[in-house]
Structure 1
Amino acid sequence: MNPTSHRSRTTRGTLLAGLGALTLMALTACGSGVTEPTGGGSPSAGGTEVVLTNCGRQVTVTGTPEAIVGLSPAQTELLLRLGLADRMVGQAQTATAPLPEDLRAQAADIPVLSEDTPPSREVLLRAAPDFVVAPTAYEFTAEQGFASLEQLQEAGVAAYVATGGCADRRMTGTVEDLFTDLANLGEALDAEEAAADLTEEARATLDDVAERVAGRDPLTVAQVYLEGNTLSAIGAGIEYDIIRRAGGANVFGPDDSEFAEFFAAQITPETLAERNPEALVFTVHDAAHEQATRDYLTRTFPDVEAVRAGRLIALSGSDVYPGTLGNVTAVRQVAAGLYPDAF
């Protein structure tokens, strides 16, 4: 598979979420800190400014952001769950995944900056944001016509990349990275109470899943993605961790040569058949894509144990984006598909 060719809506939910982060500068994981204001801009309500260490760069947030943009539906959902709808001046890539039904009314009045790709530099800056949140560094690729991190900094815009979408983290990211993002965004956006509530709820879900699958002999799982008749497997990153936390044993992993440099790789049907997983997890962007994938897997692998047992588990592509509450949803959904008697 040539990952650089995957710029379409159909691949955005799974593969492209990590592309830009792997091809940009070497970046590191995220943390945060608070310093006294250094001047230039009004201080936050507490009289301090928040300094986040995000992907190896310092992001200084002075005052409380009042013009926020989510650069993917996953980040838009997170911002809305933090109670920030009235402070959002833009949402992007809206056609790549639907928002949860309970949030659609809140999002109805938030300007749409782009549908299938990140917004251009001109469109994003025209929205006059003071804080921008993205799933990966790809959303800031200047070569694609998007506003770069440096350009946003020059314009006085703080830009935050989900921890799991940082360049050197995309291959090793875990569901746990979400909690780093919640802590950082809660602090930077003056939404700490809401962030704490979301963290508590998400951790409770993960703990519940862990208890339900504890002590079981893990079923073997392959996570795949279908585009046309091209089959790809996922062998690293957050997606890999989702399967592990759901009690599955990945048949593809980061130690395999195919995944030495990228978390996804094109495979042949013979390779998948040889691994003979007991369950197949696949990501989709809409109902038609789900049905097409089910039809392909059923037709191509009638003798693979996953197909024989009917363990074909579909996930929304947006739920495997870095920095989304969907990561937790996906863990529970996969676990329930693997061990339905436990739920």
Structure 2
Amino acid sequence: MSGLVKKGTFLCLIAAIVFVLAACSSTNNGSNAADKNAQKPADNSAANAPTDENNGDEAAQGAAQTTYPVTVSNYTMANGAWTAKEQTFSQAPQKVVANTQGAAELLIRLGLTDKIVGVAAVYGHVPEDIADEFSKIPVLAEGYVGKELTIGASPELVVGRGDLFQDADWGVGTVDSLNELGVKTYVQGTSVSGASLNNLYQDITELGEIFNVQANAAAYIQQLKTREAALAARASAETINYASIFDNGDGTVGIYNGNTDTFIESAVSLINMHNMLIDETGTISLEQLVELNPEALVISKYAGGIDPEQTIAMLLANEQVQSINAIKNKKIFVIDFNNFWGYGDSIFTGVEALADDLGL
């Protein structure tokens, strides 16, 4: 990227993606969703596990074996809010569909590549260390996948982002409708409003139990906790208030409030960044953005989307926004959509890139 802008890597789905995020935010918003996360505590053994590398190895070696049937408390949508719904597994699923790239990557990290019969929403860069494994997975759709294609893969389990569990062209089907067909579901807790990094560790722990790869799960949690601690040690001395923007595709800039992105907020807070729009509702105008005066701007990038450099050039040429500190100080960052909206372990890669760009 040019000297004007430093890159992280965050994707913006412009009109279509923003529509999905906006449409789905109503399903994630609601006090019940936050209450659900409060009622479903993170696994204590994962949250309190030692961060020492050797102790992590010992924890992994001492991990339990799953005794089937095993039941986990997960989610379903009821009256516009996520509520608890149990999923019982009589054995480890052998055929799994991941409704996003991020969900597939997480399953690969747990050693489950051979169980994945389909992936969709391949919007970001696949990490080099798992690129070969990822290439083995059938791509059901480069974008979001519908229920027909999902069921056509004959999955025993569908795993992934919560707001894609809907009966829509871009949805895999609701939790209840899939369950009625005999297909188990696992909604990533990270994708439910009210989530934090603790939900990532809980997701990994529960997937480890479902697939009887608890040793892999315990070891990977330790690796991620080490990265979490390293990021916290790099935190900015002052809070960095940022706003997310996107290209409307018609020569204008849109602003995304990220009301339901509590998981992302939890992750960026490690380096003392804060989404200053997270409590804003309704459409945010450019005039409001100027008044709010964010110290940093982030633009999401995704495969097939508008080139962020085009958006940046348009922004820098707009006289209306030149008083914004992020513009004046050239604090505009491009971040990878999959890292942040994959709701998986790649959130650390995204935040690490932001920390690098900020010089932390």
Q: Same fold by TM-score, threshold 0.5 exceeded? A: yes
Contact 1:230 1:266 in 2 (8 A): no
Residue 328 of structure 1: aligned partner: 348
- Residue 92 (structure 1) shift: 1.5
Change (3 A) 1:101 1:11: farther
- The structure, 1 or 2, with the larger RCO (C-alpha pairs under 8 Å, 6+ apart) is 2
Provide the secondary structure at the position in 2 that maps to 1:142: coil
Q: 1:135–1:322: 8 Å Cα contact kept in structure 2?
A: yes
1:299: Cα distance to partner? 2.2
RMSD of aligned residue pairs (Cα, Å): 2.9
**Residue of structure 1 equivalent to 2:295:** 278
- Give the corresponding residue for 1:247: 272
1:153-302 maps to which residues of 2 (within 5 A)? 153-166=179-192, 170=193, 172-213=194-235, 216-228=237-249, 229-236=252-259, 237-254=262-279, 256=280, 258=281, 265-286=282-303, 288-300=306-318, 301-302=321-322
Give distance in 2, aligned partners of 1:9 and 1:221: 18
Superposition TM-score, scaled by structure 2 size: 0.76
- Fraction of identical pairs, as percent: 22
Q: Secondary structure at the match of 2:141?
A: coil
Question: Which has the higher mean CA deviation after the structures are superposed, 306-315 or 296-305?
Answer: 296-305
Q: TM-score, normalised by structure 1?
A: 0.79
Aligned pair in 2 of structure 1 residues 253, 108: CA closer, same or farther (>3 Å)?
Answer: closer
Hey, what does 2:92 align to over in structure 1?
64
Does the 8 Å CA contact 2:301/2:307 hold for their aligned counterparts? yes
| CA pair 66-102 structure 1, distance change in 2 beyond 3 A | same
Amino acid at match of 1:153: N
Q: Deviations over 1:252-304 (max 9, x none)?
A: 232x4x2xxxxxx5322211111222211222214853212222332233332
Contact 2:248–2:254, Cα closer than 8 Å, also in 1: yes
For residues 44-70 of structure 1, the C-alpha deviation after alignment (integer angstroms, 9 at most, x for no partner) is: x75422211112111111111111111
Provide structure 1 residue ranges, at least 5 long, that are not aligned to the other structure.
1-7, 34-44, 259-264
- Alignment of 1:105 with 2:126, yes or no, is no
Q: CA deviation at 1:71?
A: 0.8
Give the length in aligned residue pairs: 307
Structure 1: how far apart are the matches of 2:182 and 2:42?
19
The one-letter amino acid paired with 2:224 is A
> Contact between 2:258 and 2:278, CA under 8 Å: does it hold in 1?
yes
The 1:84–1:13 alpha-carbon spacing in structure 2 relative to 1, beyond 3 Å, is farther
Change (3 A) 1:293 1:111: same
1:310 aligned to which of 313, 330, 345: 330
Distance 1:277 1:194 in 2: 41
Segments of 5+ residues of structure 2 without an aligned counterpart are 1-11, 44-64, 76-83
